[in-house]
Amino acid sequence: MSPERKGESRKGSMTFIEHLEELRSRLLKSVVAIFAGMIVCWVFREDIRLFLEAPLYEAWRAVPGLPPPSPLSFTSLIEPFMAYLKIAGIGGLFLAAPVVFYHLWRFIAPGLYRSEQRIALPFVVVSSLLFVVGSIGAYRYVFPVGFTYFLEFAAGGSVENHEADVRAFVPPKKPAPAKKAGATAAEKKTAAKRAAQGMNRARWKAKIAQQQAQRAAAESRDASAGKLIRWLADRMGSGPCGEFSAKRQKSDVYLRYLFFADRCGEPPAEMIVSRNGRPLDISFTWGLPSGGRQVFAAVDANAPRAGQYSLRVVRPAVNKLAPMLMVKDYLDFALKLLLAFGVVFELPILILFLAWAGIVDHRQLFSFGRWFIVLSLVIGAILTPPDVFTQVMLAVPLILLYYVSALLAYLFFGRKKKA
């Protein structure tokens, strides 16, 4: 017996039959707790379903070009009942998680020393907390990113952002009054000084004119290059679907969007104009397409000052699939992800328990890390639906949890062995 175990003893030894009786008792109590949780979740099944559907509808509204969200469908009479039964079952497991972990620990406890049995309460609390944290992380972060990606990939439209700057309106200056004949000596001195300043101003204006000419030549070259790029884009069927411009006339700003109908086909489904980052309540009027072009125009009346206008053009999906989701498929997908992330987040408890029992140490954990990266991808493929995206979304936190657990094993148990 090791020095730290002196004076300690385990509980009375149990026979194999007694272990089976203990296992049966703990399993029965855990099943009763899960069944009680199922009853509670069955009462609130509609609320739980709406809670699970919320990330889907948020992602649906965020994807451009999609029609308004529609309710989930079903193809058989028994399908909604089975979906609600699965919601109740998984929800009951979540509610009964503390009881399940408690009975799991009580089954293991007889084989431990008395000092080791004192961690029963921390084990139950931390295990339940990690299970819930993993599921909440999947709901809050994985669901929105994953659903948005899948909807954009299969049925999303396209978005183009355009910008245009306008200058403030400067009213014309009033003409200066005519000077009287017969200037005084002071006025002549002032006139000579102004003449000298005028010569300097003329040189400055000539320099400015030279710079403007150079800039105009560069813009002309850029315009020629832009025409070449647009010509190539037209021939290749790519490139932007329109050009946006804003022009001020006195206190109004005239907005114009030239849509290339011959290149992009379907006209915009939504056009949102913003001035200095703030959306404006402006509607575009459009004319009939002519020569493969279609003009959309609007007016920002009494624009307060100069600013930057931006236009967000949303085009509907072309030659893509139309979403029609089934309640059974979606709930299977969502519940499986929640359960998988909850189980994966129990990894620190398992590793710390093995390190505490002396089965592994931090050196073995760090050396096994590169193999665990491959193993985490395999675990992600088993626990998630058959797609690479959700597999990686599960494997990444699993790898991070592994290395955090190895670091905690070093901090809590590695230093004690050195001492």
Q: What is the pLDDT of residues 285-302, one digit of tens each?
A: 776 666 667 777 888 877
Q: Which of 48, 216, 62 is nearest to 148 (CA)?
A: 62
C-alpha span between 128 and 355 (Å, rounded): 20
Q: Would you put residue 246 in left (φ > 0), alpha (ψ -120 to 50) or beta?
A: beta
pLDDT at 44: 93
User: What pLDDT sits at residue 418?
Assistant: 52
What is the rounded average pLDDT of the residues 34-50?
93
Mean of pLDDT values over 211-234: 59
**Predicted confidence (pLDDT) at residue 197 exceeds the cutoff of 60:** no
Count helices and strands in the chain by DSSP H and E runs: 15, 8
| Whole-number Cα distances in Å, 309 to 193, 272, 287, 334 | 45, 10, 22, 41
Who has greater pLDDT, 138 or 307? 138
Global pTM reads 0.62
